[in-house]
C-alpha cells in the first residue's frame, strides 16, 4: 500500500460559514496519525468556483451544504460534479483498486436525485438537533455500521429529505437503504432515508457523521441560532440538545466510529489487492 493517500474534499458549502469542513479535516488528520497513513488532502470549491477533482485521488468526500438540491439541476457546477461521478463509476468497473466516495447530506440528496432513487423534497419543518437513527436489516449487516449501536445518534441539520424510495431503481443500481430516521408513531409521515449504499464503492448519508460536540455547541451558542431553535422547538428542546452534546455515547461516538470505519474499508481493499 502506498505511503501517501490522496483525498479529494468536494466542498459543497457555497462559501457559507460551517463546521463541516473543519470536522472533516480533523477526522482525516486524526485517522492518518493513528493508522500511520499520510493523507494528503485537496479541497475543491464546487458550487461557486466550479472547481472539480480528477481521477488521481484515492478517496472522495463530498460534503453537505446549504440550499435546494433541486434548483441546481443543469447548472455548470452540477454538470462537472456528475461528470466526475460518472467517471468514477466507469473507472471502478475495471480497476483493481476502486475509488470510494462518501456523500454527505446535500451531496447525498444530489445523488439520490441523479439516480432517481427516491423523492427529494422539503420536510414539513426543518430538522435540527441530535436524533437517533435506526439501522435497516441491510444496515445491521453492513461492516461500516458494526461498531455503532442501534439506534445510533447523529447531528441532523436539513430542510430537505429523501422519501418514497424507488425499489426498482435501487435494485438496478445495486443499492441498499442502510438507515432510517427515528420512528415517530404519532406522526403520520414516512420515515426519511438516512443512509444508502449506492453501490459497492459509493456510500451516502443524510446525516453529518463528521459532526463533533465542539462544533455543534459553537453553532448552538450563537445568539441567532439559539433564538431560532427556541422559537421553533422551545427552550426545553434547546437545553436538551446542549445536554446531549456532553453524552459520549451519542454524537461523539458516531463521530469517532463512522468515518474511521469507512476509511478502514477504503484502505483495507488496498492491503489485500
Mean pLDDT of 224-232: 85
pLDDT-derived band of residue 2, with 50, 70 and 90 as boundaries?
Answer: low
Can you give the CATH number for the domain in which 231 is found?
A: 3.40.50.880
- pLDDT tens readout for residues 51-99: 999 999 999 999 999 999 999 999 999 999 999 999 999 999 999 999 9
* Cβ atoms < 10 Å from Cβ of 269: 16
Q: Which residue has the higher pLDDT, 239 or 68?
A: 68
pLDDT-derived band of residue 158, with 50, 70 and 90 as boundaries?
Answer: confident
Helix (H) or strand (E) holding 83: helix 76-94
Asked if pLDDT for residue 157 goes beyond 80, the answer is no
Q: For position 64, what pLDDT does the model report?
A: 96
- pLDDT tens readout for residues 4-42: 999 999 999 999 989 999 999 999 999 999 999 999 999
Judged by DSSP in three states, 168 sits in: helix
Q: For position 269, what pLDDT does the model report?
A: 65
Determine the structural domain holding residue 212 and report its residue range: 4-271
Q: Which residue has the higher pLDDT, 189 or 208?
A: 208
Cα distances (angstroms) measured from residue 135 to each of 154, 205, 236: 12, 12, 28
- pLDDT tens readout for residues 191-200: 999 999 999 9
Report the domain count for the chain: 1
DSSP per-residue letters across 218-259: HHHTSHHHHHHHHHHH-HHHHHHHHHHTT-TTTHHHHHHHHH
Burial of 138 (0-12, 13-18, 19+ CB in 10 A): middle
Q: Which of 169, 41, 67, 76 is nearest to 122 (CA)?
A: 67
Residue with cell 478517496: 59
Q: For position 228, what pLDDT does the model report?
A: 83
Compute the distance between CA of residue 185 and CA of residue 182 in angstroms, rounded to an integer: 10
Output the CA torsion 73→76→81→82 (10° steps).
50
Amino acid at each position: 500500500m502506498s505511503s501517501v493517500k490522496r483525498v479529494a474534499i468536494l466542498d459543497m458549502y457555497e462559501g457559507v460559514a460551517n463546521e463541516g469542513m473543519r470536522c472533516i479535516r480533523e477526522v482525516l488528520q486524526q485517522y492518518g496519525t493513528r493508522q500511520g497513513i499520510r493523507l494528503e488532502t485537496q479541497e475543491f470549491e464546487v458550487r461557486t468556483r466550479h472547481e472539480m477533482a480528477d481521477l488521481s485521488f484515492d478517496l472522495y468526500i463530498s460534503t453537505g451544504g446549504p440550499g435546494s438540491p433541486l434548483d441546481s439541476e443543469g447548472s455548470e457546477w452540477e454538470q462537472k460534479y456528475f461528470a466526475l461521478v460518472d467517471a468514477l463509476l466507469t473507472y471502478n468497473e475495471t480497476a483493481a483498486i476502486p475509488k470510494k466516495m462518501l456523500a454527505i447530506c446535500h451531496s447525498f440528496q444530489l445523488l439520490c436525485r441523479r439516480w432517481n432513487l427516491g423523492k427529494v423534497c422539503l420536510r414539513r419543518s426543518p430538522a435540527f438537533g441530535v436524533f437517533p437513527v435506526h439501522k435497516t436489516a441491510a444496515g445491521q449487516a453492513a461492516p461500516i455500521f458494526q461498531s455503532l449501536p442501534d439506534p445510533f445518534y447523529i447531528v441532523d441539520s436539513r430542510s430537505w429529505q429523501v422519501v418514497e424510495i424507488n425499489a426498482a431503481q435501487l435494485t438496478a443500481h445495486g443499492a441498499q437503504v442502510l438507515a432510517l430516521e427515528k420512528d415517530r408513531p404519532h406522526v403520520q409521515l414516512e420515515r426519511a432515508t438516512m443512509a444508502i449504499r449506492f453501490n459497492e464503492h459509493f456510500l451516502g448519508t443524510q446525516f453529518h457523521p463528521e459532526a463533533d460536540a465542539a462544533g455543534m455547541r459553537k453553532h448552538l451558542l450563537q445568539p441567532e441560532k439559539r433564538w431560532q431553535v427556541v422559537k421553533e422547538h422551545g427552550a426545553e428542546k434547546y437545553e436538551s440538545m446542549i445536554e446531549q452534546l456532553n453524552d459520549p455515547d451519542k454524537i461523539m461516538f458516531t463521530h469517532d466510529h463512522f468515518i474511521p470505519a469507512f476509511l478502514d474499508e477504503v484502505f483495507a481493499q488496498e492491503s489485500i489487492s
